[in-house]
Structure 1
C-alpha cells in the first residue's frame, strides 16, 4: 500500500471531464426533468462542488496573494459555496433553476481547477492532454485577426480522419 498523496499535485486529477459532461447535459435540457432526476443531479453536483472547492482552495493557496487567477478562482469558490447553501426551491421549475445554478458553478470550478492545476485540455476531444502524450498547438484565427481560441490538440485528434 502506498502513502496517501500530500499535495494537490500528487493526487490524480479530478474527473473534470465527467463533472463537466453531467453539468453540461443538465444545463442543455429543454424540458423539465422528473423530480427524481433533479434530486439525483443536485446530490451529484453538491458532491462535485465540495470536492472542487477543496481542491481549488488548496491550489489557490499555493499561489501568491496577488495572483489574479487564484483570486478569481476563490471568488468562484465563494459563489459555489453560496449556491450550495441555497435551500431546496419550491416547485419543480424552481428546483431545476437552483440545480442549474449548481451546474454552472460546477462548470466554472472545473475551469478554475484546470487553470490552477495546469491541466491542458484537447480542443478537439475535450479530454486532458496528459504528460507524455503528443500534442500540437491549435490557433483558430478570428475574422478580426486575433486568436479566437488558442490551445492544444492531441496529435491523434489533429490527424484523425473526419467522419462524414
Structure 2
C-alpha cells in the first residue's frame, strides 16, 4: 500500500547500518564512549521514525492489522526509550541491543506502511532506480499470482533445489 502524500524523511539505510553495529553476525560489543554514542544514535533514530510511522498508520482504517501492529510496535519502542540501561557494561550493551532490535522492527513497519518493497533474496529494500525482477520469473513458484520481487543482482544468489 503506497501513500503518495508521504515522503521518505528518514534514512532507513543509515538506521539499518547503525543497527548492524550492534546485532548481526560477527558484531563485537562496543564499549565506553563508543557504546554511549551508538546508544544515543539509536535513540535519535527511533525518535525520528516513530512520528513517521504514526502518520502512515493514521492513514489506515482503525481495524487494519498493519496499523494495529505498527502502533503496538511504537508502544514497545517507547517503553524501551524510557528504560534505563542499568549498571555495568553488560547491561549497557544489552539495553543498546534491545533498542537496536526495536529500531529494526520500526524500520520494517515504516517500509511496509510506505510501500517499500523488499528483495526476497537479500532482504534489502528495492529502490526506485534499482533493477529487479519478479521472483516468479526465476523460481519454481512461477505460477504464483504475486510472489514478490528480487534485485537483478540477487538472481544468482537464490538456492536451487
TM-score of Structure 1 vs Structure 2, range by shorter chain = 0.7 to 0.9
Q: Report the TM-score when normalising by structure 1.
A: 0.77
Measured in 2, the distance between the counterparts of 1:56 and 1:74 equals 8
- Show the counterpart of 2:68: 71
1:155 aligns with 2:152: yes
- Cα deviation digits, residues 22-59 of structure 1 (max 9, x gap): 21331136653211111011111001101111111000
Matched residue SS, 2:20: helix
- Show the counterpart of 1:112: 109
Measured in 2, the distance between the counterparts of 1:78 and 1:85 equals 11
Q: CA deviation at 1:158?
A: 3.0
Q: Report the TM-score when normalising by structure 2.
A: 0.78
- Show the counterpart of 1:58: 55
Measured in 1, the distance between the counterparts of 2:96 and 2:112 equals 24
Superposed counterparts of 1:85-164, under 5 Å:
85-131=82-128, 133-138=130-135, 150-158=147-155
- Does structure 2 conserve the Cα–Cα contact (< 8 Å) formed by 1:77 and 1:109? yes
Q: CA deviation at 1:19?
A: 1.0
Q: CA RMSD in A?
A: 2.8
Residue 123 to residue 15, structure 1, CA distance change in 2 (3 Å): farther
Q: CA deviation at 1:130?
A: 3.0
The alignment of Structure 1 onto Structure 2 pairs a total of residues equal to: 148
- Cα deviation digits, residues 83-130 of structure 1 (max 9, x gap): 000123211101111111000011000000001001012344554323
96-105 vs 25-34, which moves further: 25-34
